[in-house]
Amino acid sequence: MASESLTSSEYIKHHLQNLTCTIKEGHFHCAHSAQEAKEMGFWAINLDTVLMSFLLGTIFLFFFTRAANKATAGVPSGLVNFVEWVIEFIDSSVRGSFSFKNSLVAPLALTIFMWIFLMNLMDLIPIDFVGQLIALYDPHMYFKIVPTTDPNATFGMALSVFFIVLFYSIKMKGLGGFVGELTLQPFGKFGLPANIFLEGVNLIAKPISLALRLFGNMYAGEMIFILIAIMGSTWAGFTIANATLFSSQILLSLIWAIFHILIITLQAFIFMTLTIVYLDMAHQEHH
């Protein structure tokens, strides 16, 4: 529920601001305002994004490693059954979209899907729960619990995929073949400027679209949760005669959370599928 000491605008800004920190005058310093975070410049880091990403990645590795160690020839149950189901789902997705042999693709697809899913899943935690815990330590400290609402995280993952795609494009086709694709398609050697422009835009659009699609959907979902929380805070101050309004807010939160489960899963799946498709295209040779 929104804090009574903040206006609606301040509340929204507070929940959409990252915990931005940097080294200042030999000391580790975190910003207490959006303007202060902006003034920190390029070398500042969003500490909440880094911490949550690392924590969720560790959780993913811990449970999947534990399931692998517990796996037996018998009928799986519990955690092992869930992990096997996820692996079979990823395997079928890779087989359906990737037509070459590469031992990296399936583990990469699994990591991308589970890591993004776990980061997106944080959006279902009540938005004020973590904020109230942080406020016990420092009431002026920001903390965004959903890493994928930070474009730095989504662009970091998208660029990592992009560099892997570039690596395999050059490895499979050779540097000459890769440059040839950028300069000779689709109009041949007589359309060199147009080829470079069209293929260059197509190449650069891949990481940008990956990053912005994930960020945009998760940011919008977080914003809706914040607006619902503001409505609940407003209606909570009404008389008991208007209690049905507050009940409507609770119902709206529940409906949106259920729908949002589909969104967070779909966004992880789309990011994974496009990664597989881009890697498949990187392995294809055009003549």
pLDDT confidence of residue 98: 93
pLDDT single digits (tens) 122-178: 988 877 777 677 767 776 778 889 999 999 999 999 999 999 999 999 999 889 888
pLDDT confidence of residue 3: 47
Residue 187 has pLDDT above 70, yes or no: yes
Residue 286 has pLDDT above 70, yes or no: no
Output 89 or 185, whichever has higher pLDDT. 89
Output 128 or 180, whichever has higher pLDDT. 180
Q: How confident is the model at residue 35 (pLDDT cuts 50, 70, 90)?
A: confident
Residues serving a catalytic function are: 209, 213, 217
* Cα 136 to chain centroid, rounded: 28
Instruction: Give mean pLDDT, residues 36-49.
Output: 87
pLDDT confidence of residue 163: 96
Residue 204 has pLDDT above 80, yes or no: yes
pLDDT single digits (tens) 205-248: 999 999 999 999 999 988 888 887 777 655 444 444 455 555 66
- The residue type found at 87 is I
pLDDT confidence of residue 236: 47
Do the beta carbons of residue 199 and residue 185 sit within 8 Å? yes
pLDDT confidence of residue 246: 57
Instruction: Give mean pLDDT, residues 272-277.
Output: 96
Domain boundary assignment for the chain: 8-283
Q: How confident is the model at residue 193 (pLDDT cuts 50, 70, 90)?
A: confident
Residue 105 has pLDDT above 70, yes or no: yes
Q: What is the pTM of this model?
A: 0.86
